[in-house]
Structure 1
Amino acid sequence: MQKAVKKQTLITLSNQVSDKNCSLGNYLKKSQISELAHRVNPEPGGLTVVLTGRDVVVEGFCMSNCGFHGSDYKLRSAFMWVGNSVDQCPGKCTWPFHQPIYGPQTKPLGAPNGDVGVDGMVINIASLLAGAVTNPFGNGYYVGSAEAPLEAASACPGVYGKGAYPGYAGELLVDSSSGASYNALGVNGRKYLLPGLLDPSTSECSTVV
């Protein structure tokens, strides 16, 4: 009989770099996202998050994705990108804080931090973070085919609370002062809406509330 040993994982927040002058321009190819990530984290290991402003267009943005994650297998490091879609495609990448392009046209929820674009980014950051951590190199945890994998969060689209269905985000907490909807509390009481994740033990979507 072997004794199970629980290992602790140390997560350290590294440096932050701002490229306010858009050194690579306001239209970026996917390959340039990797270049930006390497500027911040050229060492082996780690996960780099690249965020772009509302005036930056990224290849495939709004048409096929709201963000993506990738990796450098040689360096054993991963990166992810999320863009602010408020001016480009809020109906695709900021729901439920904006009317959706397709599907049931229910009333949008109030954004917990009062910024539809940024609160939408939080949702996409959380979704891609879950995918980057559980499937960093494309051979980790996912559902379906490797060509079009559904990862921990992408397998639960539009699910934020119990009872969610297309057009309805689920039962959420509501800020009594602003009327905004949320399901998670952060540092200093900041409120956020985070996506549900697929629980592999039950094959069902699990939400914060």
Structure 2
Amino acid sequence: MGIVENGIVENGVANGFGVGVWVRRMGSSRMGLANGVALVSAKPIQTQQSQLFQYHNGHLLTGNVSIDIIWYGKFASFQRAIITDFILSLSSSAPTKAQPNVATWWNIIEKYYNLVEPKISKVVPSLGNQIMDPNYSIGKRLNINQIERLASKGSQKHAINVVLTSADVAVQGFCSRCGTHGYLESELVNKQKHRYKFAYIWVGNAETQCPSNCSWPFNLTIYGPKTPPLVAPNNDVGMDGMVMNLASLLAGTATNPFGNGYYQGPKEEPLEAVSACPGMYGMGASPGFPGKLLVDVKTGASYNANGVNGRKYLLPPLYDPSTKTC
């Protein structure tokens, strides 16, 4: 198992993040890894049944992990609440008894950990610090290096730093990808002179830039049959789309944080915990059709998970490694 120091373990995993050879990883809204970049699909595609979804003997995030949010650009308070309530809802201790709920969805992640030997504790996310940058400190057109600089403003130990960019911010590669996940080397050093690695996520608000790609099924898609768009559960197409993409990236970050965890297909462009089941939000889903969903009788909004404070969310499906189904 190795020697554990301050939540770090060599050649293994501990209550923080595994430590190994440092390679930068980033993801996008097309879950996978391409050129060292983890991707998350912006369009519904078919699962590659011929390629086995498996564990590649790498590190998983484990133990208590805070989710720090860097709000870049202008977000109204009600928009921020949509995201923070989602993160609070991930905890099984959250006061949400209505089923199905967000915590039950997240608990599927535990099945990934149960298959790892030696046994490790699952990741337990909680809402951490929130950093506001409403004045666009580095402009409205950002590249990936600038996203990483923003991510570094959050905690660099036992944390996932989430950079959220507002609808008027253009990010390099946005729309071909709706968000990314990856990791960076921290400035912190433990007693063995090893640097920590911390995970980060970026998600963009696609309401005005590419809603058909990154906010489907709340907008018409350019892929597959043209089914009518659904009503967003929180009445904000951009933010509800961000929740879907953030959920996908959180699952991928937990189970494949460094490119050698759980994934399907080639390492250069793998499918992860959510992207292995693209576009399947409910029973009977097919390309261009999200499936049968719950509908709020008051608002007509479609959803598949309840959250804290009476929230409703549409979450992507998680691949179940024990049943090998979505």
Q: Same fold (TM over 0.5)?
A: yes
Matched, 1:49 2:162: yes
Letter in 1 for 2:161: T
CA distance in 1, matches of 2:122, 2:264: 27
Q: Which structure 1 residue ranges, 4+ long, deviate > 4 Å from structure 2?
A: 4-10
Give unpaired runs (5+ residues) of structure 2. 1-117, 186-194
Q: 230, 240, 248: which one pairs with 1:109?
A: 230
Q: 133, 137, 147: which one pairs with 1:19?
A: 133
- The residue correspondences of 1:30-179 to structure 2 (distance < 5 A) are 30-41=144-155, 43-63=156-176, 65-73=177-185, 74-179=195-300
Q: How many residues align?
A: 200
Letter in 1 for 2:133: D
CA distance in 1, matches of 2:162, 2:315: 17
Letter in 1 for 2:129: N
Letter in 1 for 2:178: C
CA distance in 2, matches of 1:115, 1:165: 25
CA distance in 1, matches of 2:205, 2:166: 5
Deviates most, 135-144 or 69-78: 69-78
Task: Indicate how the Cα distance of structure 1 residues 159 and 21 shifts in structure 2: closer, same or farther if over 3 A, else same.
Answer: same
Contact 2:123 / 2:254 at 8 angstroms: preserved in 1?
A: no
Letter in 2 for 1:78: A
Query: Is the partner of 2:264 in helix, strand or coil?
Result: coil
**Structure with the larger RCO, 1 or 2 (CA within 8 Å, 6+ apart):** 2
Letter in 2 for 1:76: K
Contact 1:27 / 1:57 at 8 angstroms: preserved in 2?
A: yes
Give unpaired runs (5+ residues) of structure 1. none
Contact 1:45 / 1:75 at 8 angstroms: preserved in 2?
A: no
1:78-103: per-residue Cα shift (whole Å, max 9, x none)? 00010000110000000000000222
Deviation at 1:13, TM superposition (A): 2.5
Q: Which residue of 2 aligns with 1:192?
A: 313
Contact 2:234 / 2:240 at 8 angstroms: preserved in 1?
A: yes
Task: Indicate how the Cα distance of structure 1 residues 201 and 8 shifts in structure 2: closer, same or farther if over 3 A, else same.
Answer: closer
Query: Is the partner of 2:162 in helix, strand or coil?
Result: strand
Contact 1:175 / 1:181 at 8 angstroms: preserved in 2?
A: yes
Task: Indicate how the Cα distance of structure 1 residues 38 and 60 shifts in structure 2: closer, same or farther if over 3 A, else same.
Answer: same
Contact 1:134 / 1:152 at 8 angstroms: preserved in 2?
A: yes
Deviation at 1:105, TM superposition (A): 0.5
TM-score by length of 1: 0.91
CA distance in 2, matches of 1:151, 1:10: 19
CA distance in 1, matches of 2:245, 2:325: 20
Contact 1:123 / 1:194 at 8 angstroms: preserved in 2?
A: yes
Deviation at 1:75, TM superposition (A): 2.1
TM-score by length of 2: 0.59
Task: Indicate how the Cα distance of structure 1 residues 9 and 101 shifts in structure 2: closer, same or farther if over 3 A, else same.
Answer: closer
Deviation at 1:202, TM superposition (A): 2.4
